[in-house]
Amino acid sequence: MSEFNKISELIQKFGLISGKKQIFKTIQSFLNGFEKADLAVSVTQDAGGRCLMNINSRYRLSEDIFIKLSEALEPFISRYFFAGGGPGGAAFNIADFIDFEHHESPSDAPAGYMTAKRAELKGSLIVPVFLENKVYSIFAIFSRDEFELTRQELLSVNVLAHMTALSMKTLAVNQKMQKMINDLKREKNEVVEKAGRLSKVLDLSHSLVSLGSYEKLLDITLNSYCGVFDIEQAVILGINHHKNELYVEDCAGFNADFAANFKLPCGYGLIGAVIEKNEPYFRKNVFETGEELAVIPFSGVSGLVCGAIVLYDKFNRLSYGDDEYELMWMLANFFSLALNIIKVQSVSDTFEKDIESRQAAAPPPPAPAAVTPVEEETGDGGLPGETVFADAIRRFLTPSAEIETTKIRIATEYLQAADCGGDLIDVFKTSGNYITVAVADVSGRGIQAGVTAAMLRAQLKTVCSYNGELRKIMFDLNNLVCEDIDVYNFITLFLLQISPNAGRAAFSNAGHCPVIHYIKEGASAVVHESRNSPLGVMRNTDFKEGILILNRDDILLLYTNGLAEAKNPAGEPFGRQRLCELIKSSAGTGCDEIKEIISAEIKSHTGKSGKFDDDIAFTVVKVG
């Protein structure tokens, strides 16, 4: 057979190769027909830096042959695979990085060839194979005797070397692709599983907020954690602030004695510390024996922590990641929202029963024309129970705690109207140490507006606890409001997020009064107008956001319409321009002083010290 035909046949054989064993069978067939060579060797390097020396031989080999092969190929391996030295450039022994794989001909070897005495390699041809501008493999043939190759034979060996390298690389790529496919299949299964959990959590969240019973809420929440996340034991802890201790509200996976006898001082141990910090805690191998523990605090309408959900898995079956922990936290926040809705509804029901009992006990009117119906009494002539309830709602609608940093000072003011309104002010910290300031106004008047504002506050804190991006917060909050608010009502909201270093603030305005920004450099007051619709108008609405650059001694004023629209006896409104001038003239004072100046001016303008025509709420923020 001519050399050309040999090469053609070789290429055809390699074209049918689909595995490593077939590669070396093809090389073996070459050796069987090429009498000048006793050994053929192919050396490749894997991603970890180790070299694999695949050896094909006519006969069985003695141990010293492997040593001689390593010695013969070491200069080439060093040059092409370890040009920069060993790991970290340190000196190393190449033999420590070589693995052998021997493929032997089925024919018997001459006895003399197996002995160390006759094991010599006198003839050799070593060919570096370049693929993609670098050496991919080293191919070599060896013989016990010296040999010479014709031009055709040399071409045949080169073809064999390159076809071996190409086949090895194709095989490696195929294996890599198969691994990627398997990984994608596994990831797809994981994604499907996570998507299923997310869908269940979202469905459960809607179920939770629609429950009217506290007992049902506890039961469904515990069953949700145990069912969706395969949790072994779950506990909902409450806080007795009078006794300063934690107690079990409800539990799953424990016996009845556990709930009855559990008592833990607030702030004690890991669970107490997590609740005191008011941040969720997730940890694997918590006791160094494989357990998983999650402690997720939840807050009331006032913003104070009122308990925690504790999840425990003894056998570490879960091995959850951040995505699952995020879902656990999300479910806890919806539990908190549902709990707050039940509390507000309970207060509302108590108020209605109180009104009914007072109406039943009231003496009959002497003449129908001389009596104003009870349901129309408002303001100072309202029922005592209504005044008490309105005062309780107003306490919900003002910040529960002052927040102050070395760079930010915040002062808030809430001046009450004669009847209950729906103005809301809140200041709280979110993840990443951002300060969030919210000023809102619910359309309408009376108890209903106050209850709606209280629910908004709970919804806002819930959404902010699992979502840090302002646009997403406004999007989710608007959808919640659309579900709960009457079709004829809406809510205006100005939401501000101040960065930890106080250098910038992001804001989004949902149909609310524009923020007034006093800029120290230039002593100017800038008004940023609204560009978004109010909350509760349409579901799935996108809300734009703006950025404020803050410098030392800059001032921000956030307020409700009651401040700018407050009228004097002549019917003249206080006006936004007057607010700008007030901030300019008082810019050199502190945050609390600015608040007091505005309060004094509004009282002077209206001629009232209380019981205004509309609630007046505002927040002053000054950069230190």
Q: In the chain, helix, strand, coil percent, each to 5? A: 45, 25, 30
Among the candidates 318, 339, 360, a domain finishes at 339
**Same domain flag for 22 and 166:** yes
Share of the chain above pLDDT 90, in %: 18
Average pLDDT, the chain: 77
Q: Is residue 289 part of a domain?
A: yes
Residues 443-459 have pLDDT tens digits of: 887 777 888 888 888 88
Q: Is residue 538 part of a domain?
A: yes
**Same domain flag for 132 and 253:** no
Do the beta carbons of residue 104 and residue 126 sit within 8 Å?
no
Q: What per-residue confidence (pLDDT) applies to 294?
A: 84
What are the residues whose beta carbons fall under 8 Å from the beta carbon of 246, sequence distance 6 or more?
A: 237, 238, 239, 240, 262, 263, 264, 265, 266, 271, 272, 275, 307, 308
Q: Is residue 367 part of a domain?
A: no
**Same domain flag for 243 and 305:** yes
**Same domain flag for 424 and 518:** yes
Rounded average pLDDT over 221-249: 81
Q: Is residue 56 part of a domain?
A: yes
**Same domain flag for 54 and 102:** yes
| Interatomic CA distance for residues 165 and 42, integer angstroms | 8
| pLDDT higher at 303 or 124 | 124
Q: What per-residue confidence (pLDDT) applies to 110?
A: 40
| Interatomic CA distance for residues 365 and 369, integer angstroms | 9
**Same domain flag for 121 and 257:** no
**Same domain flag for 156 and 30:** yes
| pLDDT higher at 613 or 1 | 613
**Same domain flag for 403 and 325:** no
- Secondary structure element (H or E) that encloses residue 243, with its range: none
**Same domain flag for 447 and 542:** yes
* CATH number, domain with residue 476: 3.60.40.10
The pLDDT of residue 381 is above 50: no
| Interatomic CA distance for residues 474 and 461, integer angstroms | 12
Among the candidates 313, 339, 365, a domain finishes at 339
Q: Is residue 202 part of a domain?
A: no
Among the candidates 136, 155, 177, a domain finishes at 177
C-alpha 72 chain-centroid distance = 56
List the single range of 15-24, 430-439, 514-523 with lowest mean pLDDT.
15-24
The dihedral region occupied by 523, where left means phi > 0, alpha psi between -120 and 50, and beta the remainder, is: left
Q: Is the pTM of this model over 0.75?
A: no
Q: Is residue 359 part of a domain?
A: no
Residue 580 structure tokens: 């700008």
| Interatomic CA distance for residues 59 and 104, integer angstroms | 6
C-alpha 297 chain-centroid distance = 17
**Same domain flag for 238 and 294:** yes
Domain span at 17: 3-177
List the single range of 416-420, 499-503, 553-557 with lowest mean pLDDT.
416-420
* Number of structural domains found in the chain: 3
* CATH number, domain with residue 285: 3.30.450.40
Q: Is residue 293 part of a domain?
A: yes
**Same domain flag for 110 and 26:** yes
Do the beta carbons of residue 98 and residue 51 sit within 8 Å?
yes
Q: Among 602, 532, 529, 596, which residue's Cα sits nearest to residue 565?
A: 602
Residues 103-143 have pLDDT tens digits of: 765 544 443 333 333 446 777 888 888 876 788 888 888 88
Share of the chain above pLDDT 70, in %: 76
List the single range of 150-159, 230-239, 471-480, 611-620 with lowest mean pLDDT.
150-159
Q: Among 405, 449, 454, 398, which residue's Cα sits nearest to residue 426?
A: 398
Banded model confidence at residue 600, pLDDT cuts 50, 70, 90: very high
Rounded average pLDDT over 342-353: 61
Q: Is residue 388 part of a domain?
A: no
**Same domain flag for 335 and 428:** no
